Amino acid sequence: MTMTQHFLDVDDLSREELDDVLDDAEALKSQETGDDDNHALLPDKTLAMLFEKPSTRTRVSFETGMTQLGGHAIFLGPDDTQLGRGEPLSDTARTLSRYVDGIMVRVFNHADAVELAEYASVPIVNGLTDDAHPCQALADLLTIREHFDSFDVQAAWVGDGNNVAQSFVIGCAMVGIDLTVAHPEGYGIDDSVIDRANQFDGPNVTVTNDPTKAVADADVVYTDVWVSMGQEKERDEKLQAFEGFQVNEELLDEQAVLHCLPAHRGEEITGAVIESDHALVWDQAENRLHAQKALLTKLLS
């Protein structure tokens, strides 16, 4: 199968490609990592990882994934390249392309990921930007399919229309998940993302300002932090705006719960919900590893 070279958002994949990645992720998850015949699919391949934003799950899952696939990952933090000293992104992209087989980027500005993709001759994988988190969406969809055995579910997003939400909206639209998004006024999904989602066959995205209404018929409820990295100055304002949007025991009625982590317990979600039997957050976190391994195998092999 020929795949799109770069993965900047979920809809860079076709539906067929998305299904293939999820199928391969399930297969890799079921295999023993020591079985080189089945698992070492990227021998001698190297992934450069450019980080502007700190990370736990993104760094560890990509680095571990490349090791398990028989390859190698190189962590490049903000002070580890010449980008911090003024080298253009275009020069970095072209130089790294001569050394490595792929580049994962975790940056603030989505336009920076787009520029790297424009100049790189190897695949660029978006590990997170302020606009999108497509690798998280792959893990989210894998978790839902595992838990419910299909995508015949209704989902609700409760909270900020951030990067995670925007990629989740696109992912749900691609696989036909009926999704309702509940957010306070002024903190919704970008209109262009809703337009992209509504181009796919299946249920349209429903938007409301009422979290109770959003979760009423939902099988799975997803939330994320209200104050993302880089928004710390907006903290007091956002905490006030999001009053009433907490995912707690009063809001839920035994729905499965997703959170991409890290969680601010007591803000967007309670500790009791995360620790409940309905929370899928640990499977969801683990599935970052398997989904990304499947994606990297397709892109770099």
CA 281 to chain centre: 13
**Binding site annotation covers 172?**
no
Backbone angles phi, psi at 189, to 5 degrees: -70, 145
* Closest CA relative to residue 166, chosen from 110, 209, 233, 113: 110
**Binding site annotation covers 288?**
yes
**Binding site annotation covers 59?**
no
**Binding site annotation covers 228?**
yes
Q: What is the DSSP string of 241-297?
A: HTTT--B-TTT-SS-EEEE-S---BTTTB-HHHHTSTTB-HHHHHHHHHHHHHHHHH
Residues in the chain: 301
**Binding site annotation covers 104?**
no
* CA distances from residue 80 to 18, 83, 238, 241, 283 in whole angstroms, order as listed: 33, 8, 33, 38, 32
Catalytic residue among 59, 133, 183, 259: 133
**Binding site annotation covers 143?**
no
**Binding site annotation covers 134?**
yes
The question of whether 288 is a catalytic residue gets the answer: yes
Both tokens assigned to 90: 């275009």
* Closest CA relative to residue 10, chosen from 226, 257, 224, 196: 196
Catalytic residue among 224, 259, 284, 290: 224
**Binding site annotation covers 235?**
no
**Binding site annotation covers 199?**
no
Catalytic residue among 9, 24, 136, 140: 136
Catalytic residue among 140, 260, 290, 292: 260
**Binding site annotation covers 94?**
no
CB 22 within 8 A of CB 294: yes
The question of whether 260 is a catalytic residue gets the answer: yes
**Binding site annotation covers 56?**
yes
Catalytic residue among 6, 59, 106, 145: 106
One-letter amino acid for residue 35 of the chain: D
Element (H, E) at 200: none
**Binding site annotation covers 33?**
no
For residues 169 and 135, give the distance between their C-alpha atoms in angstroms, rounded to a whole number: 13
The question of whether 98 is a catalytic residue gets the answer: no
**Binding site annotation covers 261?**
yes
The question of whether 224 is a catalytic residue gets the answer: yes
Catalytic residue among 145, 183, 259, 288: 288
The residues with which 222 forms a beta bridge, in sequence order, are 157, 258
**Binding site annotation covers 55?**
yes
**Binding site annotation covers 57?**
yes
Could you tell me which residues are annotated as the binding site for L-ornithine? Answer: 163, 224, 228-229
Could you tell me which residues are annotated as the binding site? Answer: 55-58, 82, 106, 133-136, 163, 224, 228-229, 260-261, 288
Could you tell me which residues are annotated as the binding site for carbamoyl phosphate? Answer: 55-58, 82, 106, 133-136, 260-261, 288
Question: Which residues are catalytically annotated?
Answer: 106, 133, 136, 224, 260, 288
